[in-house]
């Protein structure tokens, strides 16, 4: 996945530098038709990124944790990996939910609920089919790197502090299996940025 993203970035750069389709295809050992498919994906990604930026700007302007937004807009804003996005979309469809707030969305990823066992953190997203630990961390990353406005950012940082202190993560279901809270490498920088927040932010 990462390799494909890096390749697409280089192809985009060559295209912007006015390299011909034949030159790019030859450089990557691809047929021109296969390259056109890559071009279409790049164009689709660029549209999605622009839309995400526009919606995130609306979130920042409102800076309201409880304002309701269309589910489709929330999903478009955070550009999560496909399996996680699909699982969330189906969850909202199943519950016939057309609008959600940023607080409610955060709650699906990192819940404020206290687990009976010390060191356990409740993450309802893990209960959704096909999400798994990888999908959970991708959702955490997208929310963490998004600027949602001062109040919304502060709320998310409080949840990040709780995640950084957890030893295991578990879904919200009765029979949910817990999993080790093994954070990816990017999260260590987030922990450093948030050092001390847990004792200074009022709940």
Per-residue pLDDT of the chain (203 residues; tens, 9 = 90+): 567 778 888 888 888 898 888 899 998 898 988 989 988 988 988 999 999 999 999 999 999 999 999 999 999 999 999 999 999 999 999 999 999 999 999 999 999 999 999 999 999 999 998 899 999 999 999 999 999 999 999 999 999 999 999 999 999 987 778 889 998 988 887 765 664 433 333 22
Evaluate if pTM is beyond 0.95.
Answer: no
Q: Kind and range of the H or E element at 145?
A: helix 132-145
SS3 181: coil
Phi, psi for residue 170 in degrees, rounded to 5: -150, 150
CB atoms within 10 A of CB 171: 20
| DSSP, residue by residue, 64-132 | -TT--EEHHHHHHHH---HHHHHHHHHHHHHTT--EE-HHHHHHHHS--PBPSSTTEEE-GGGGSTTTH
How many beta carbons lie within 10 A of that of residue 99, not counting itself? 14
Would you say 143 and 109 are in contact if contact means Cβ atoms under 8 Å apart?
yes
> Cβ distance 146 to 155 under 8 Å?
no
């Amino acid at each position: 996945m990462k390799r494909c993203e890096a390749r697409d970035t280089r192809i985009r750069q060559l295209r912007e530098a006015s390299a011909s389709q034949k030159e790019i295809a030859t450089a990557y050992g691809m047929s021109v038709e296969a390259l056109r498919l890559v071009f279409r994906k790049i164009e689709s990604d660029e549209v999605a990124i622009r839309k995400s930026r526009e919606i995130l700007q609306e979130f920042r302007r409102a800076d309201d944790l409880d304002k309701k937004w269309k589910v489709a807009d929330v999903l478009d804003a955070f550009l999560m990996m496909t399996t996680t996005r699909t699982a969330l979309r189906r969850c909202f469809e199943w519950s016939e939910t057309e609008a959600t707030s940023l607080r409610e969305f955060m709650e699906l990823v990192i819940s404020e609920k206290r687990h009976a066992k010390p060191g356990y953190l409740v993450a309802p997203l893990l209960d959704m089919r096909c999400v798994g630990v990888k999908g959970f961390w991708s959702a955490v990353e997208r929310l963490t790197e998004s600027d949602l406005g001062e109040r919304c950012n502060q709320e998310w940082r409080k949840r990040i502090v709780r995640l950084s202190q957890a030893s295991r993560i578990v879904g919200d279901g009765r029979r949910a299996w817990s999993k080790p809270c093994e954070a990816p490498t990017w999260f260590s920088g987030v922990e450093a940025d948030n050092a001390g927040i847990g004792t200074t932010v009022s709940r």
